[in-house]
Amino acid sequence: MNDALRTLCARLGYQFRDESLVESAMRHRSYVAENDGVESNERLEFLGDAILGWVVADLVYRAHADLHEGKLTDLRKSLVNASALAEMAEELGVGECLLLGRGEEQGSGRTKTSILSDALEAIFGAIYLDSDAQTAHRVLTTLMSARLQGAIDGLDRLDAKTRLQELASRLLSEQVHYKIDDEGPDHDKTFYATVFVGDRELGSGEGRSKKAAEQLAAEIACDVLAREHAHD
């Protein structure tokens, strides 16, 4: 196991008994197409997707007895969608461990949302095969619990980006756009978002993900427009 995979396992909080499983989880189909005799991570991804769905459904159900079925579904989706999983994969350092074909290697394969999210699900499948359902549940629950409150906060804000676009269109007939900056290493980035309505800067925010930073910036912009047009 190379240093990048050791770092990944440390961040996961799990050490593999069968290291070939986590190595398989890193093997994208583009790599397999150029190397005979090895299997891609797609079967592990299939398994990990099912395990992740079970763990997250159990987590949100037990943690929030006050939420109705529709809100539970929205919360689960916000935790397991490809963008959310890709962000987690970046923080864990999955991109540095991927085995890619030449085309993906030379392109943006190591930062591509679909490749990162699929590889993370494959890792979850590998953990299950290397241990058992109880251990996989524990490891994944620890990882997902750290992101649960952020997901809830995002739902509670009722998608400020959507509200801002509606306000900008209705009040000003203008479009909304965002400028994103970031700093820090790939596994520990802070994102900064500035939101513009037309050519006017109306708000800024920061967060651990692009989405979180944009939502905070949009909230501020919504407040500005609401105050300015309170009597319209």
159 is catalytic: no
Q: 98 is written with which tokens?
A: 């991927």
Q: Which one of the listed residues 45, 49, 104, 214 is annotated catalytic?
A: 49
Question: Which residues, at least 6 apart from 46, have a Cβ–Cβ distance to it below 8 Å?
Answer: 125
Q: Are 104 and 112 in contact (CB under 8 A)?
A: yes
Q: Strand, coil or helix: what is 130? A: helix
174 is catalytic: no
**Alpha-carbon distance 161 to 177, whole Å?**
10
Q: Which one of the listed residues 45, 91, 118, 121 is annotated catalytic?
A: 121
Q: 191 is written with which tokens?
A: 């994102």
Q: In whole angstroms, how far apart are CA 82 and each of 89, 115, 120, 220?
A: 10, 9, 10, 27
Catalytic machinery residues: 49, 121
